Every structure is written in C-alpha cells, then in structure tokens.
Homo-oligomer: A and B are copies of this chain.
Amino acid sequence: MKPEVTIVKIGGALIDAPPKLQAVLKDFARLPGRKILVHGGGSKATTLGKRLGIPAEMHRGRRITSAATLELVVQVYAGLINKQIVAGLQAQSCQALGVSGADANLILAIRRPVQSVDYGFVGDVVEVQKEHLNALMDMGFVPVFCAITHDGQGQLLNTNADTIAAEIAIAMAGSYDVTLLYCFDRKGVMRDVNDADSVVERLDKESYMKWSKAGVIHEGMLPKLDNCFNALENGVRRVKIGLPEDLLTRGEGGKGTLVVL
C-alpha cells in the first residue's frame, strides 16, 4: 500500500479575511499525515496594484502578467501571503516551509507561448521535482507553495494556483495515495449559483461535460474542474471541492463535491 498525502489548495476569499484564514490554518495544521498546502493570491495583489497604478488585465479569468504585474505578484504571493501563512502554521506547531517553484527547483515552468493572446510572464508547468519535494517531507517539513514558478534560466513566472495543486498531486501519484482538496468559499459545485442548497454531491465527467455545455456550471468553475479531472485521469485517487471546514475536518465522508471519472 502506498503512503498517503493530502494536497490542499486554498484561494481567494479565504485568504483575504484574517480570521477565516486562521481557522483554515488551524484545521490544516491538524490534518494527519503528509500534506502540502498551495495558496492563491486573494485580492491583495489587485488592491496593491491599484495603489501603484498597475492595472489588472484579465483574459477569461486569467491574469495577464506584465513585468510590473509579475513584480507585484511575486511580492504579494511569495512574500506577504506565503510568509503570513507559514508563520500562522508555525504558531499551530505545523512545521511549514514556504516555497515558490524556483526554490529547490521544485516547479520548472515554461513561459506560455504567444498565440492569440500574450499572457506575459505566465508559466505553464513543465515538471514538479518530486524527489526534492519528497525529501522535504521525509524531513518532516510541510511544504507551502505560492503560485510562482521559474523557467530555470532566472525568470520567475506567474502560474495558476489550481493548476499547481493538480500538477503536484499528479507528480506525487506515482508513489503516494493522493487526496486533492480544493477549498474555496462555496459548499461545492452548484446546479444553481443562487441556491446554496443545490450542491452536487458527486460529479462525474459525463455530467460535467453535459452541464458545462448547457451552461449549468458557472464559467469560473470550468478551469478548476478541468484541473480536477486532469488529476483523476493521471492517478490521483480522490478529488473534492468545497468549504475548508467541510473538507479538512470530516475525513472521507462529509460535505462538498466529490469529483469522479
């Protein structure tokens, strides 16, 4: 039997509210066994960018990363948010070690080729250095990833945090029984975004394809769900989406959306 590892992604609204973040970190710190945390950026980069006169350019929900924006997100993601999370986990006796993809060459990426859109300094993951990641966990450290990668030539790159979580999960799947938990500010995938009780308990790929075509699933959820199915198709055992208090404290049962092939 393979050892288990839990990979937890937290993002957006969870990071913006300090009391909410503290509660999430407390639950994460108590998760048994090997674990990895991946965090998004929240709204801090956008508000800081506004104060500095750096406009937030988006294309289909993805940030276009100019040189000024890259500097901004490296500061906020790898600096402020990553270290606040690490210090918060350390206060919970969790041996957190904050990293970007450049550290220990953990995530090598390539700048996204320009096609119809130039995303700027955005990186697509090429390889997760699983030996280094494993070695850090062997020593008892809990890796905390921000969504910054590098190209191995000295260039930092901005990478989607959901994708980073999925790629780490896939890289670990060869030697671990991997659970991937996407925590966000809703109860799960919903049939009706206006009805909090319309959570889909179990979402298989066929229903996903059908519902996404029919426009039932909210557009912002599509890249996240693509990452979920990509992970499952590449050896990850279990993928769930939902509120952190539901996913981190209730084990196998509990609420949220279980994504299955």
Contact = CB atoms under 8 A, between A and B. Distances in A.
A36 interface: no
Which bracket fits the contact residues of A? 35 or more
B95 A102 contact: no
A31 interface: no
Nearest to A157: B87
Contacts of A150: 86-87, 90
Interface of A: 51-52, 71, 74-80, 82-84, 86-88, 90-91, 95-100, 102-105, 132, 135-136, 139, 141, 148, 150, 152-156
Contacts of A102: 83, 86-87, 90, 96, 98
Nearest to A71: B80
Contact of A78 (B71, B83, B95, B156): B83
A156 B82 CA distance: 11
A156 B75 contact: no
Given A96-B103, A103-B98, A105-B95, A80 B83 contact: no
Q: What number of copies of this chain does the assembly contain? A: 2
Contacts of A74: 79-80, 83-84
Nearest to A73: B79
B80 A75 contact: yes
A112 to B, nearest CB: 17
Contact of A97 (B71, B88, B90, B103): B103
A82 to B, nearest CB: 7
Contacts of A71: 80
A75 B80 CA distance: 5
A139 to B, nearest CB: 5
Closest 8 pairs (CB-CB, A-B): A79-B79, A91-B154, A75-B75, A75-B79, A87-B102, A78-B79, A87-B150, A97-B104
Nearest to A108: B90
Nearest to A92: B154
A179 to B, nearest CB: 24
A232 B136 CA distance: 32
18 contacts: A74-B79, A74-B83, A75-B76, A78-B82, A79-B80, A79-B82, A86-B150, A87-B102, A90-B102, A90-B105, A90-B154, A95-B105, A96-B102, A96-B103, A96-B104, A97-B99, A98-B99, A98-B100
